[in-house]
């Protein structure tokens, strides 16, 4: 296997020397290059096309944002990571198009390696060269919104302040209003009316709020570009239901809080690849929808026929570039490929997805997603499905009693 090509850019020689020493143990796996400014960094691309570039943001003459924007245009397959100290919100906003993820200074070698390998690991989801070319065809990739970036930076601090996080969210009045509307919706079933973002953070946790911010921005970004026959609101509602049910299943099985949060995040983002395909390739995606309508195949089967990839793989690839947790990436990428029963994030998200597709019938010709028959039978015989459906119904009465949600459909079919 060829080595990974990694380029580090910083105008301070001492910082580069520190990184060189810190990552000495990776020399057998990585070819590492070091440049003291943007111009020298671009010269290094004549030596090798970099897999990853880690650049400081604040540099004289050509700053990191300008450098990473040039790399984005000329070398779109390169993972672009910003490594910087204190950054103003204006810097974050300027860099959202060019940067896949941020790392704050100072950082440990373990944290740096984890970020780089995590981003590279997303490529394992898409290994076929034709599929990778599909990604590079996208003129623009969706970027993590500036509020999300700023929150990431605050949480990376030694003693993050929840009040500061709440204030960051409150800088976007529209986003704040949408978040308060969401947390007060039946999906969460909270016993009291939430009147402030600070209160929402205390009750739901910062990771849930981050998930909502990310998903809200993603869905909102594509609203004006969708196909006429592609319902963004239905996709959002489905994703939110899957997110909530996945979290309930994790709770039912007594899984730890981190796993439950990963289930919630993977659930809400499991179909994000559809937004990428609809936005980037509307003509091709119209063929996907026509195949679903005329041939009765599921969406991911039709996507495979048209694109040689699926929304699950593409979504996992992009979320990996953004630095989301590995379990979340697996949950997104494998929610249609689960073959064995295990209380993992991919399995739980897959179960929640199947439950929703079978309990919410959007129209008479709706194509349902189903498990492999042997897997479904074992889940029913061992009482898992019965227990999970009962737990969801007991803990989410407001939602399961809404018109159009028929929890008993799946029970009858499995039985």
User: Can you name the CATH fold of 4-125?
Assistant: Rossmann fold (3.40.50)
Whether the ω angle into residue 106 lies within 30 degrees of 0, i.e. cis, is yes
Distance CA 80, CA 82 (A): 7
Which one of 1.10.3210.10, 3.40.50.410, 1.10.10.10, 1.20.1740.10 gives the CATH number of domain 225-414?
1.10.3210.10
Tens of pLDDT along 223-234?
Answer: 555 577 787 778
- Rounded mean pLDDT of 71-92? 75
Question: Between these two residues, 80 and 226, which has the higher pLDDT value?
Answer: 80
Is the separation of the CB atoms in 303 and 309 below 8 Å?
A: yes
Burial class (CB in 10 A: 0-12, 13-18, 19+), 253: middle
**pTM across the whole model:** 0.75
pLDDT per position as a tens digit, 11-22: 999 999 999 999
Band of pLDDT at residue 72, cut at 50, 70 and 90 = confident
pLDDT band, very low/low/confident/very high, at 276 (cuts 50, 70, 90): confident
Give the C-alpha separation, 140 to 60, whole Å.
Answer: 27
- Cα within 13 Å of Cα(76), Cβ side: 13
More confident residue, 224 or 342: 342
pLDDT of residue 17: 93
Query: What's residue 10's pLDDT?
Result: 94
Which of 267-281, 301-315, 353-367 has the weakest average pLDDT? 353-367
pLDDT band (50, 70, 90) for residue 88? low
Residue 61 zone, left/alpha/beta (φ > 0; ψ -120 to 50; rest): left
Q: How confident is the model at residue 212 (pLDDT cuts 50, 70, 90)?
A: confident
Query: What percent of the chain shows pLDDT beyond 70?
Result: 75
Confidence bin at 303 (pLDDT 50/70/90)? very high
Residue 144 has pLDDT above 60, yes or no: no
Q: Where are the domains of the chain?
A: 4-125, 143-221, 225-414
Residue 187 CB-density burial (10 A; 0-12 exposed, 13-18 middle, 19+ buried): middle
Give the pLDDT mean for 228-252.
86
Q: How confident is the model at residue 280 (pLDDT cuts 50, 70, 90)?
A: confident
Locate tokens 């590995």: which residue?
326
Q: What confidence tier does 379 reach under pLDDT thresholds 50, 70, 90?
A: confident
Instruction: Give the lowest-confidence range in 35-39, 112-116, 183-187, 313-317.
Output: 183-187
């Amino acid at each position: 296997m060829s080595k990974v090509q990694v380029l580090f850019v910083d105008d301070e020689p001492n910082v580069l020397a520190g990184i060189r020493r810190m990552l000495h143990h990776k020399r057998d796996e990585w070819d590492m290059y070091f440049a003291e400014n943007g111009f020298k960094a671009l010269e290094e691309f004549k030596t090798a096309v970099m897999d990853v570039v880690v650049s400081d943001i604040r540099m004289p003459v050509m700053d990191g944002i300008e450098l990473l924007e040039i790399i984005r245009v000329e070398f779109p397959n390169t993972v672009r990571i910003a490594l910087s100290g204190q950054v103003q919100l204006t810097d974050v906003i300027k860099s959202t198009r060019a940067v896949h993820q941020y790392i704050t200074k100072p950082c440990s070698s373990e944290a740096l390696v984890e970020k780089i390998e995590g981003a590279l690991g997303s490529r394992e989801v898409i290994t076929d060269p034709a599929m990778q070319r599909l990604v590079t065809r996208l003129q623009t990739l969706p970027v993590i919104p500036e509020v999300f970036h700023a929150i990431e930076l605050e949480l990376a601090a030694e003693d993050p302040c929840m009040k500061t996080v709440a204030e960051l969210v409150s800088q976007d009045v529209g986003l704040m209003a949408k978040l308060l509307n969401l947390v007060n919706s039946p999906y969460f079933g909270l016993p009291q009316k939430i009147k402030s973002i600070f209160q929402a953070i205390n009750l739901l946790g910062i990771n849930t709020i981050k998930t909502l911010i990310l998903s809200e921005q993603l869905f909102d970004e594509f609203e004006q570009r969708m196909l006429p026959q592609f319902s963004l609101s239905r996709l959002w509602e489905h994703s939110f239901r899957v997110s909530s049910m996945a979290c309930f299943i994790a709770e039912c099985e007594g899984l730890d809080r981190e796993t439950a949060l990963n289930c919630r995040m993977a659930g809400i983002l499991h179909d994000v690849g559809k937004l990428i395909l609809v936005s980037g390739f509307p003509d091709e995606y119209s063929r996907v929808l026509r195949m679903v309508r005329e041939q009765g195949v599921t969406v991911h089967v039709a996507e495979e026929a048209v694109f040689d990839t699926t929304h699950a793989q593409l979504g996992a690839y992009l979320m990996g570039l953004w630095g989301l947790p590995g379990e979340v990436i697996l949950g997104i990428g494998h929610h249609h490929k689960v073959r064995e029963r295990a209380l993992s994030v991919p399995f739980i998200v897959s179960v929640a997805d199947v439950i929703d597709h079978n309990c919410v019938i959007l129209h008479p010709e709706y194509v349902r997603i189903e498990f492999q028959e042997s897997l479904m039978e074992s889940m029913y015989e061992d009482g898992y499905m019965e227990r999970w459906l009962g737990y969801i119904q007991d803990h989410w009465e407001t939602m399961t009693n809404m018109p159009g949600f028929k929890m008993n459909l799946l029970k009858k079919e499995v039985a």
